């Protein structure tokens, strides 16, 4: 049994994480502000959103042990993700995507 | 404020759904509601907070937790880099304030609005950030306060967040370059996770995706160069 996190441990974890993420958030904005960017850099920056969101989705849906409890257990989140894509395509609504995703996940997990 | 809430409330609902189990898990690791509130209000990455609690409960040494959380937080440098060309239209202090407090979902919404050329100003972007940020922090604190009283299934709640990311991905322009970026990023996530370096999968995959997108631009030029030669 792991000991509960004490205030000292929490402060170290919080302050180090906060300082690092603050640097990550602010440094590019300060460094790139007011500088003319080359077309190549602008193109590269434009690929960040699709690449990052694809990485986040894949990180949520794929894992080495995804099929360890059976093929359907691994496939089910992918099918639910497919339902969300269909809803995004038809409705273009963030809300309906969330509702459909959670409903599909719950219903498919009952199969 | 109405137009901010119109885009914010689906995010707020999903944050409540995911923030509660995040707080419950953090309470199991020993964080009280106040710690959860402070952490959630300033750190602003759900994945990082889940990781902190999971690693602590697994008995991982504190320096390793700090390093792992830092590794997955580097993706925010990429987000800020992609936002920065659009933030130049705002005053410097507004641009800094927006970059300090966006969440991934608020980033996606604000980037889409600014790139779309709408009337999304700094005030709206900041209001969106603060609204969803407070929702997240209060949900995590509530989860920690409720502790073991409620049992929110983490997998189901987490899929609300996944659905949001799928929506934000789908809302990107459907170009060949973006498709290559997506394929590159997914392949990199698979490579990282299957080789045991899950902690850095997202930032590495984002960089690989950007490289794949750039490579897709270079490919036709090389082909035409060969045909001329």
- What's the pTM? 0.73
Of the residues B151, B172, B193, which one is the last residue of a structural domain? B172
What band does B221 get if pLDDT is binned at 50, 70 and 90? Answer: low
Neighbour-count burial of B226, counting CB atoms closer than 10 A to its CB (0-12 exposed, 13-18 middle, 19+ buried): exposed
- Assess whether B123 and B145 both reside in one domain: yes
Spell out which residues of chain A touch residue B212, defining contact as CB-CB under 8 Å: 51
- Assess whether B111 and B204 both reside in one domain: no
Mean pLDDT of B204-218: 91
Question: Are the CB atoms for B75 and B108 separated by under 8 Å?
Answer: no
Q: Which residues contact A87 (CB under 8 A, 6 or more apart)?
A: A93, A96, A97, A100, A101
Predicted confidence at residue A1, as pLDDT, reads 54
- Cβ-nearest to A47 among B170, B177, B193: B177
- Assess whether B9 and B46 both reside in one domain: yes
Question: Are the CB atoms for A80 and A101 separated by under 8 Å?
Answer: yes
When mean pLDDT is compared across A90-99, B58-67, B154-163, the lowest value belongs to B154-163
- Assess whether B26 and B118 both reside in one domain: yes
Tokens of residue B196, six digits:
């045991």
Report the domain count for chain B: 2
Predicted confidence at residue A22, as pLDDT, reads 93
Predicted confidence at residue B151, as pLDDT, reads 65
**pLDDT at residue B228 tops 50:** no
Report the alpha-carbon distance of residue B22 to residue A44 in Å, rounded.
Answer: 34
- Assess whether B184 and B104 both reside in one domain: no
Of the residues B130, B145, B172, which one is the last residue of a structural domain? B172
Domain boundaries, chain A: 37-110
pLDDT mean for each 10 residues of chain A (111 residues): 83 92 91 80 84 88 90 94 95 83 92 83
Predicted confidence at residue B229, as pLDDT, reads 30
- Assess whether B78 and B129 both reside in one domain: yes
- Assess whether B114 and B30 both reside in one domain: yes
- Assess whether B129 and B214 both reside in one domain: no
Report the alpha-carbon distance of residue B178 to residue B162 in Å, rounded.
Answer: 19
- Assess whether B167 and B217 both reside in one domain: no
**pLDDT at residue B88 tops 50:** yes
Predicted confidence at residue B154, as pLDDT, reads 65
- Nearest chain A residue to B179 by CA distance is A50
- Assess whether B166 and B180 both reside in one domain: no
- Assess whether B159 and B220 both reside in one domain: no
Size of the A and B interface in Cβ pairs below 8 Å? 265
- Cβ-nearest to A55 among B84, B166, B202: B202
Could you list the residue range(s) of the whole structural domain that residue B186 is in? Answer: 174-229
Quick: pLDDT tens for B94-115.
999 999 999 988 998 998 888 8
Spell out which residues of chain A touch residue B92, defining contact as CB-CB under 8 Å: 33
- Assess whether B152 and B167 both reside in one domain: yes
Q: Where are the alpha helices (DSSP H) in B102-200?
A: 104-115, 122-146, 154-170, 176-194
Q: Which of residues 68-107 of A touch B (CB under 8 A)?
A: 77, 80-81, 84-85, 88-89, 92, 94-95, 97-98, 100-102, 105-106
Q: Which of residues 47-66 of A touch B (CB under 8 A)?
A: 47-64
The better pLDDT of the pair B1, A86 is held by: A86
Predicted confidence at residue B182, as pLDDT, reads 96
**pLDDT at residue B225 tops 80:** no
Q: Which residues contact A70 (CB under 8 A, 6 or more apart)?
A: none
- Cβ-nearest to A28 among B77, B104, B182: B77
Of the residues B156, B172, B188, which one is the last residue of a structural domain? B172
């Amino acid at each position: 049994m792991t000991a509960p996190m004490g205030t000292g441990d929490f402060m170290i974890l919080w302050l180090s994480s906060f300082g690092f993420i603050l640097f990550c958030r602010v440094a590019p904005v300060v460094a790139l502000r007011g500088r003319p960017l080359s077309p190549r850099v602008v193109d590269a920056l434009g690929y960040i959103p699709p690449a990052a969101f694809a990485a986040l989705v894949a990180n949520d849906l794929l894992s080495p042990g995804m099929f360890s409890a059976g093929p359907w257990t691994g496939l089910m989140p992918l099918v639910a993700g497919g339902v969300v894509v269909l809803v995004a395509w038809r409705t273009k609504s963030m809300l309906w995507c969330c509702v459909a995703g959670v409903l599909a996940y719950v219903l498919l997990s009952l199969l | 404020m109405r137009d901010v809430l119109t885009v914010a409330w689906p995010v707020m609902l999903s944050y409540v759904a995911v923030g509660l189990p995040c707080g419950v898990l953090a309470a199991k690791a020993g964080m009280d509601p106040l710690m959860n509130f402070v952490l959630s209000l300033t750190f602003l990455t759900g994945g990082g907070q889940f990781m902190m609690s999971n690693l602590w409960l697994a008995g991982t040494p504190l320096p390793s937790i700090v390093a792992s959380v830092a590794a997955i937080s580097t993706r925010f440098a990429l987000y800020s880099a992609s936002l920065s060309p659009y933030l130049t239209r705002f005053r410097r202090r507004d641009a800094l304030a927006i970059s300090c407090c966006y969440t991934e979902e608020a980033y996606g919404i604000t980037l889409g609005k600014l790139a779309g050329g709408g009337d999304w100003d700094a005030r709206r972007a900041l209001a969106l950030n603060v609204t969803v940020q407070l929702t997240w922090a209060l949900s995590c604190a509530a989860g920690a306060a409720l502790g073991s009283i409620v049992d929110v299934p983490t997998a189901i709640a987490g899929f609300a967040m996944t659905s949001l990311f799928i929506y934000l991905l789908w809302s990107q322009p459907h170009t060949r370059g973006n498709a290559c970026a997506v394929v590159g990023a997914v392949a990199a996530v698979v490579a990282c996770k299957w080789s045991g370096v899950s902690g850095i999968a997202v930032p590495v995959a984002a960089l690989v995706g950007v490289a794949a997108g750039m490579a897709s631009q270079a490919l036709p030029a090389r082909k035409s160069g060969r045909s001329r030669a």
